[in-house]
């Protein structure tokens, strides 16, 4: 753990800026090893960082673009952080209703804090999920759903406050038109997502974090969050973005 006093009178604790309150140092956040050993703690950490910081952390640490295209946006908004449960939907015109049952099984067998990630082939005008599926996910403690395709029953999604990000809103159904496969790697919004990867989403968009690097990315994102938040007051006080960037070393 790294602890030292910075030039602006705060502390850098484990890579995170932490203020002094009455001369007492705030409790430091867990390190990457601790997050890696505790999935619930890991997800709780991701709930409290901004998606933009997660995106920056992935790029700075691994040179990876892991943010989904702007097509995938909030339909029923809310913060999402959880483990990916993946479903691939492929065209199968005239298929029996049973062809889509794997997407139901994916919901009914997933643990709490899951994020439903569905990719639909040519699916912008097909609803991948609606009110029934969202109700089931909500009841099972899913964090939200990411659909590379359309959604429907939007008024109900908003009524139950279940976060859904998708490419758009359409009234259609996938039944009779698609075949589902669950628990496979998918490409959603231009990003490869494997089952168990971390998915985070907020008003800035959606990011997928490979599970094997999720702990170190979280620690880096927390540090970026804290630095940026510390800069706001500094910029307002001095009315200088250039000086703040020079002092804090980031933009």
Q: How many CB atoms lie within 10 A of CB 1?
A: 9
Per-domain boundaries in the chain: 3-64+213-248, 73-209
The dotted CATH code for 73-209 is 3.50.30.40
**For 181-185, which contacts have Cβ atoms below 8 Å and span 24 or more sequence positions?**
181/87, 181/88, 181/90, 181/102, 182/85, 182/86, 182/87, 182/88, 182/102, 182/103, 182/105, 182/106, 183/85, 183/86, 183/106, 184/86, 184/88, 185/86
For residues 196 and 208, the answer to whether their CB atoms sit within 8 Å is no
Per the listing, tokens 């029934």 go with 132
- What ranges make up the beta strands (E) of 69-177? 73-76, 80-91, 114-120, 127-129, 144-151, 164-169
Neighbouring-strand partners of residue 87: 118, 182
pLDDT of 225 reads: 84
Alpha-carbon span 209 to 83, nearest angstrom:
10
Confidence grade of residue 227 (pLDDT, cut at 50, 70, 90): confident
Confidence grade of residue 28 (pLDDT, cut at 50, 70, 90): confident
* Among 10-24, 27-41, 203-217, 236-250, the least confident range: 10-24
pLDDT of 236 reads: 62
88: left (phi over 0), alpha (psi -120 to 50) or beta: beta
Token pair listed for 106: 């994916």
pLDDT of 15 reads: 38
Alpha-carbon span 95 to 86, nearest angstrom:
21
Question: pLDDT tens digits for 29-75?
Answer: 899 999 999 999 999 999 999 999 999 999 999 998 899 999 999 99
> Mean pLDDT over residues 232-249, rounded?
61
> Mean pLDDT over residues 85-104, rounded?
97
Question: pLDDT tens digits for 123-168?
Answer: 999 999 999 999 999 999 999 999 999 999 999 999 999 999 999 9
């Amino acid at each position: 753990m790294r602890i030292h006093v910075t030039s602006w009178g705060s502390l850098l604790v484990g890579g995170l800026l932490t203020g002094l309150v009455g001369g007492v140092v705030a409790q430091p956040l867990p390190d990457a090893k601790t997050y890696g050993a505790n999935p619930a703690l890991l997800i709780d950490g991701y709930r409290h960082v901004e998606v933009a910081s997660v995106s920056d952390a992935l790029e700075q640490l691994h040179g990876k673009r892991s943010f989904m295209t702007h097509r995938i946006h909030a339909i029923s908004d809310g913060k999402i952080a959880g483990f990916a449960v993946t479903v691939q939907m492929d065209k199968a015109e005239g298929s029996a209703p049973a062809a889509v049952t794997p997407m139901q099984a994916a919901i009914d067998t997933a643990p709490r804090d899951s994020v439903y990630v569905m990719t639909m082939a040519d699916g912008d005008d097909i609803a991948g999920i609606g009110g029934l599926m969202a109700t089931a996910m909500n009841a099972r403690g899913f964090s939200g759903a990411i659909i590379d395709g359309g959604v429907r029953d939007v008024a109900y999604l908003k009524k139950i406050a279940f976060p859904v990000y998708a490419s758009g809103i359409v009234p259609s159904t996938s039944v009779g038109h698609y075949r589902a496969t669950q628990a496979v790697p998918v490409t959603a919004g231009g990003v490869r997502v494997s089952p168990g990867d971390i998915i985070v989403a907020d008003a800035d968009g959606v990011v997928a974090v490979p599970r094997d690097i999720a702990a170190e990315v979280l620690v880096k994102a927390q540090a970026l969050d804290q630095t940026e938040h510390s800069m706001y007051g500094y910029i307002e006080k001095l009315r200088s973005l250039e000086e703040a960037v020079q002092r804090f070393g980031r933009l």
